[in-house]
Amino acid sequence: MPVLFCIENNGYGLSTPPTSEQYNCENLADRALGYGMESHIIDGNNIVEVYTKISSILNDIRENPKPVLIEFKTFRRRGHEEASGTKYVPDELLNYWEQRDPLTRFEQYLLNQDLISIEDIEKWSTHYKEEINDGLDIAFAKALPQSTSRIELADVFAPHDHINEIASDDITNIRLVDAIKDGLEESMDRYDNLVIMGQDVAEYGGVFKITDGFVEKFGRDRVRNTPICESAIVEAAMGLSIAGMKAIVEMQFADFVSSGFNPIVNYLAKSYYRWNQKADIVIRMPCGAGVGAGPFHSQSNESWFYTIPGLKIVYPAFPADAKGLLTASIEEPNPVLFFEHKALYRSVYGDVPQGYYNLPLGKAATVHEGNELTIITYGAGVHWAKKLIDEMQYDIDLIDLRTLAPLDKESIIASVHKTGKVIVLTEDNLTGSVAADIAGFIGEECFEYLDAPVRRVGSLDTPIPFEKGLENNYLPTSRLKVCVKELLDY
């Protein structure tokens, strides 16, 4: 690719010299060897050299596309920021670079070429100092920004009006994994600017075979394998969004998102609030325990992102919901984390409408109606609770949240008002979980309607074990049964 990678080597990180303490090389340009790249070292304080050499290199890579690394040798004579100062810099080094100031060097070059005069310099200096000072006076005279909490909250997400696409009456009974595949395929047909990217998603079809056959139908331009570098995948997706495209990123397992955590929470989530740039990206998150995959391939890690303003979180439990919520997530101009429980992929079947349809984000579903107790949950927890209700014939209101952000608070409040007792169930370990936040919200908003303490049920505060018996003990299913009986008898 014709990409120019530029290092402005100003001698220090904050206070640490890069070549003597950070990298074992004489010049940072030497690192290009490890990437098989061409590299050049340029005097970054020589304006003429920078212009002429960069122009020559750019002309070359336009004709012969290739990546090139440039190291500009320069220096920072002030602190990394104003508070740090330059006490760590030897005086002789500061003096050396002061003699090589790019402005005074270029000024002398122009004088030597008889292109300007001393009088010109004095005139321009006076003019621009006045212009700068006038600008500062205007800036400092401006009032500080004024806002309200309502305005600030409205600035977190790019505006999006959900237009309901009605589901077809033609249905087919399929698995959750098939519904997700259908949702992806329908969306790829609908949006010709939509790209799917991730590790092994092309010819291999992804480790769960959800994109199997997509290369043949949509081509390698739209179904792209990526390096094993989650941060780079997320950032490339953001680049596509900035260019007016849509991107779906598949995390091979939700656990691996930790390697892409920074661009998700500090870039995607904040881009609209900071500079009105939408992040039109869906990150698919195969997650969950129950398949004996151990601590690095089994986490239900939605709580990592639940605290971050600017992210939408979807977590379906049924095939029809998975398809409709996935298409709606792809319609969104905002970043969506779409959690897909691996243990439900091929074990849960349901009637799913054929063709394109969508479901609004932020709307919970009542899976079972009852009056004695409310269970609020999502994902695999819905199936655990439903199985218990069916077996024991309990009079329980079962609320499937479906999306965690936005959270359907109205449905939660209505159910708690009706039953007066509530369990918040999560597969995640309990401490710091989404269940903890929802329980806190219920305590604040519904206290007068409660007939018993709000109970949280979740997995153990341990990593997820491999061995099936230990994994079963880790998960909260047995503890849910005990908690339901205790609350019903309270």
Active site residues: 297
Task: Tell me the CA distances in angstroms from 389 to 109, 470, 472, 483, one per residue in order.
Answer: 85, 25, 19, 13
| Terminal C-alpha separation, the chain | 67
| Tokens found for residue 242 | 């900035």
**Residue (of 6, 138, 164, 119) closest to 72 by Cα position:** 6
Please count the other Cβ atoms lying within 10 Å of the Cβ belonging to residue 271.
20
What secondary structure does DSSP assign to 225-281, as a single string? E--S-HHHHHHHHHHHHHTT-EEEEE-SSGGGGGGGHHHIIIIITTHHHHHS----E
Name the 3-class secondary structure at 352: strand
Q: What angle do CA 213, 215, 220 make, to 5 degrees?
A: 170
Distance in angstroms (rounded) separating the CA atoms of residues 322 and 305 = 20
- The one-letter code for the residue type at 426 is T
Name the 3-class secondary structure at 368: strand
Phi, psi torsion values for 245, nearest 5 degrees: -110, 175
**Residue 390: partners with Cβ closer than 8 Å, 6 or more residues away:** none
- Tokens 């819905």 appear where? 382
- The one-letter code for the residue type at 490 is Y
**Residue (of 20, 395, 322) closest to 175 by Cα position:** 322
DSSP-H helix ranges across 99-229:
102-112, 118-141, 149-154, 176-190, 214-218
What secondary structure does DSSP assign to 132-149, as a single string? HHHHHHHHHHSPPP---H
**Residue 473: partners with Cβ closer than 8 Å, 6 or more residues away:** 460
**Residue 247: partners with Cβ closer than 8 Å, 6 or more residues away:** 194, 195, 196, 197, 236, 237, 238, 240, 241, 280, 281, 282
**Residue (of 324, 419, 397) closest to 363 by Cα position:** 324
